[in-house]
Amino acid sequence: MMIEELKPIIESLIFVSEEPMSIRQLVAILEGESAEDIEAACEELGREFNERGSGLELRQVAGGYRLATRVEFSEYVRRYLKAQPSARLSLAALETLAVIAYKQPITIPEILEIRGVTSTSAIKTLLDRRLIVAKGHKQVVGRPMMYGTSKEFLIHFGLNDLSELPNLEDFEDLMSS
């Protein structure tokens, strides 16, 4: 294969790899190609990334080549990552959210009672993400705060209102076949 042909193949391989891609690995995948040609293709690929002012660069790190964002754009990347905690919740947070959604309004001690573990940091996460809101104090000893789901919760899960939460019957509909 010509070096020109090798380049895009190597590019896609480095792109999908989770670990830096070594010349040795590339030689193994690209049967019949010499280590020299492969190395030359890598070098050229890296040079091209630099020359065209790409947002990415081909870095040579311990053990091989990897693609990474260029340092000068790290500010934007950081900004993106920070604004990112979108769709994912830890299992603890998701459990807490589920309990709140189905048992609202509910206090922290009551959540503890159901989950069997403290949920304070999960509740903080959920409050930060605005998936839950405080719903006033419960009129019992200690007047603990009650929590319920927010409008953002409905939007996040694509619900019009809480009555659209699936119930046991919906689930059984799926099981009975």
Please report how the helices 108-115 and 120-128 are oriented relative to each other, as an axis angle in degrees rounded to 10: 120
Residues 39-58, interacting with its own copies (CB under 8 A): 48, 52-56
Q: Which does 162 bind (CB under 5 to 8 A by kind): another protein, its own copies, none?
A: none
Q: Least distance to its own copies from the beta carbon of 165, Å?
A: 9
Q: Are 138 and 107 in contact (CB under 8 A)?
A: yes
Which CB, 17 or 103, lies closer to its own copies?
17
Residues 82-121, interacting with its own copies (CB under 8 A): 83, 87, 108, 118, 120-121
Query: Can residue 1 be called a binding residue for its own copies (CB under 8 A)?
Result: no
Of the candidates 65, 48, 72, 67, the residue with the CA atom closest to the CA atom of residue 57: 67
Q: Least distance to its own copies from the beta carbon of 81, Å?
A: 6
Q: Are 61 and 42 in contact (CB under 8 A)?
A: no
First to last CA, the chain: 56
Of the candidates 127, 164, 132, the residue with the CA atom closest to the CA atom of residue 151: 132
Query: Can residue 63 be called a binding residue for its own copies (CB under 8 A)?
Result: no
- Say whether 71 sits in a helix, a strand or coil: helix
Query: Can residue 19 be called a binding residue for its own copies (CB under 8 A)?
Result: yes
Q: Least distance to its own copies from the beta carbon of 69, Å?
A: 4
| Contact residues for 100 (Cβ-Cβ < 8 A; gap 6+) | 106, 111, 126, 132, 147, 148, 149
- Residues of this chain that interact with its own copies (CB under 8 A) are 7-13, 15-17, 19, 25, 28-30, 48, 52-56, 67, 69-70, 73, 76-77, 79-81, 83, 87, 108, 118, 120-121, 123-124, 127, 133-137, 144-145, 158-160, 163-164, 166, 170, 173-177
